[in-house]
Structure 1
Amino acid sequence: MSGSSPRFRRPASLYPSVADQLPGDPDPGTASDLAHSSASALLDGVFHSEDPEVVQRVLTLAAREGLGDLATLWSRAPATTLPGALWRLYVLHTWVQRAGDDVVLRYRQGSRTVPGLRYLSGLSEPPDVDEVRRTMDDILRGAFTGDLGMALIRAGAVATIVAHGTAHLADSSPEEGLTAQAERLLSTGEELVAAGRHAEAGTLD
């Protein structure tokens, strides 16, 4: 309807304790509270669950529902908050799953520039597409079931390596937009690492 805000679609397949917090159209004044409470509920619910199906639903959440619902919840949250960190992690994970060949090309280029980050990423040298996708699955799973701080730092390492690889390709490719992509990936990598440090310090709220 003209002049009205877009309808917020409740992601019914989310963990129930998260879905219960989404009453409909979120008031802009409570958007930050909703972002934080939903992210905390999702993380806590999965962390304390022994049901493998719950973990799998979270891993495939963006693939099933798309990033739209998550964007509505979390995309405006600062990087060093829990919803902001989870948003960046899901975006990176989704891109890797969808563009594996491209990610591997960029990763291989970037790993020559920042070899010290390779051990943090957990990838072998050189990785193939299946390994990159499995690794991002493991990182996302680890964020919810293991060490959140380390998972975010590992994701940041992947993004930073790929950023350097993208910058190399920008120098030798006529394709437009690669330089901007490299800058965004580098920013994402730095933000994920910063969020990981906050998680390790217990200050990722």
Structure 2
Amino acid sequence: MSTSLHYGSHSIVSSRTGFTPTGSPRPSRPGQIDPGLIEGIAGGADPEVITEMSHASAAALLDRVHHTEDAALVDRVLTLVDREGVDVIAELWSHAEPDSLPGILWRLYLLRTWMRKNRDSISRLWRVGEPVATTASAIAGVDQAPTEDDIARTADSILTGAFTGDFAVALERAGAFTDVVVLGLRVESKHMTEQAALLGADGNAPTLRAKAARLMHTAGNLSVTAKDFRHGAVLWRRGKLE
């Protein structure tokens, strides 16, 4: 099972590349992908400038999609990582604080990417963490026993909802979904630890304990991310997520 998150230590965090805004520091129209931006940042741009561009590009992108009826534009934004790679948005957004708009959008994009790449493992983790449908199932919009395709559809619908629906609701869905996966990871880690204890001095015991530790590490990262999503929803409703 491949469930590791390779994006840092606190929440889902990573590196490299992004958007450049157009117009004012808080433009009302979207930034465009600028190939020259990467070179500028690689050359040592002022951190304050990068921060400003991070917030401006996130606000502009979200505003443009919320106000468009162009289905093709929406699709291009939602599949940005698929087409360009995760590094395209990472340079500006990956270092943004989790209580900021670029920080939250970054986490949403990475969550979608992770869900789609690990849909088989995640569908099983969901069944382990949510064996009986609860409030989390209703909030996240996931069936009690989701298939791999259900996970992929959920990943898309959460990000779609962030751009075309109620942003706070999308964050709450992301948080609820992540919480269940965290529970599934912890249950599996516990089972592995118990198996290792039963094996005693058997040669496979250290391997099982190492796998259990990795699952718990992933669960820890995701748990922080779930809290970031819920806090972001609160800030958005207060008009304080910028």
Pairwise same-fold verdict (TM > 0.5): yes
Quote the Cα distance in structure 2 between the aligned partners of 1:50 and 1:116. Answer: 32
Q: Aligned pair 1:47/2:77, yes or no?
A: no
* Match runs of 1:17-166 below 5 Å: 17-19=30-32, 24=37, 25-26=40-41, 27=45, 28-112=47-131, 115-166=134-185
Q: Between Structure 1 and Structure 2, whose CA radius of gyration is higher? A: 2
Query: Is contact 2:167-2:233 (8 Å) kept?
Result: yes
TM-score by length of 2: 0.75
Q: Aligned pair 1:197/2:216, yes or no?
A: no
| RMSD, aligned CA | 2.2
Quote the Cα distance in structure 2 between the aligned partners of 1:18 and 1:140. Answer: 19
Quote the Cα distance in structure 1 between the aligned partners of 2:72 and 2:90. Answer: 24
Query: Number of residues paired by the alignment?
Result: 195
Query: Is contact 2:18-2:93 (8 Å) kept?
Result: no
Quote the Cα distance in structure 2 between the aligned partners of 1:11 and 1:65. Answer: 12
Query: Is contact 1:106-1:165 (8 Å) kept?
Result: yes
* Match runs of 1:1-16 below 5 Å: none
Q: Which runs of 5+ in 2 are unaligned?
A: 1-15, 21-28, 193-207
State the identity %. 35
- CA gap of 1:115–1:31, structure 2 versus 1, over 3 A, is same
Quote the Cα distance in structure 1 between the aligned partners of 2:232 and 2:18. Answer: 27
User: How far off its partner does 1:150 sit?
Assistant: 0.4
Moved over 4 A (4+): 8-12, 20-23
- CA gap of 1:31–1:123, structure 2 versus 1, over 3 A, is same
User: How far off its partner does 1:64 sit?
Assistant: 1.0
Q: Secondary structure at the match of 1:50?
A: coil
- CA gap of 1:198–1:11, structure 2 versus 1, over 3 A, is closer
| Greater shift in the superposed pair: 170-179 or 35-44 | 170-179
User: How far off its partner does 1:20 sit?
Assistant: 6.8
User: How far off its partner does 1:108 sit?
Assistant: 1.4
Query: Is contact 1:10-1:22 (8 Å) kept?
Result: no
Quote the Cα distance in structure 2 between the aligned partners of 1:50 and 1:111. Answer: 36
Quote the Cα distance in structure 2 between the aligned partners of 1:22 and 1:200. Answer: 34
Query: Is contact 2:17-2:89 (8 Å) kept?
Result: no
Q: Which runs of 5+ in 1 are unaligned?
A: 1-7
* Match runs of 1:175-190 below 5 Å: 175=211, 176-190=213-227
